[in-house]
Amino acid sequence: MSALAVILAIAPVNALPGQNINTVIKWAKTRTKLPVLRYNNEAYGYSGTKGNLYFYVNVTLPNETVIKEGITVSRDPNVKFTRKNTKAIKLVQDIYSYNLANDFNKSRYITKIDRDLFYRGKKFAYIAAEVQDGSAFQIIELSKLHQEIGNAKYCQTHVCDI
């Protein structure tokens, strides 16, 4: 096995929170399940839809570092982003990697705020929710988990632009 193959086997290429948006855009083009991503001014990020799958990436400006990624699957009652739903775990694995799907699957449930369920993995934090006509899954940096929980609590008693 070549040195490059060994490196890729150990650390598969993924586009995740903390990376530059250009890395994510290049990576998304290699994932057959993902749509073409287009910039969305209102959402401060990139998004696209392919069939019943909506994928988005939020970035910080001006350095365009990814702060959050999300998948929403509509009109498929068999996909619920929970740690026990094998179809959802398989979708995360197919889009990202076995390692990320396993991190979510073994993550620790933290709290529920409104419709959002918060989980802490070893590498990332996750937010899952049942949304109108579907199920949503978000990946955030571990260091942002408490901030996201705080934002969700704030939005329970204040008007938030979500």
Mean pLDDT by 10 residues, the chain (162 residues): 40 75 91 92 88 94 89 96 95 95 97 96 96 95 95 86 58
Decide if 89 contacts 128 (C-beta within 8 A): no
The domain locations on the chain are 14-157
Cα distances (Å, whole numbers) of residue 77 to 35, 40, 74, 82, 133 = 21, 28, 8, 13, 9
Choose among 127, 81, 120: nearest CA to 103. Answer: 120
Dihedral angle of Cα 81, 85, 87, 92, to the nearest 10 degrees:
50
Q: Which pLDDT score is estimated for 93?
A: 95
Q: pLDDT value at position 109?
A: 97
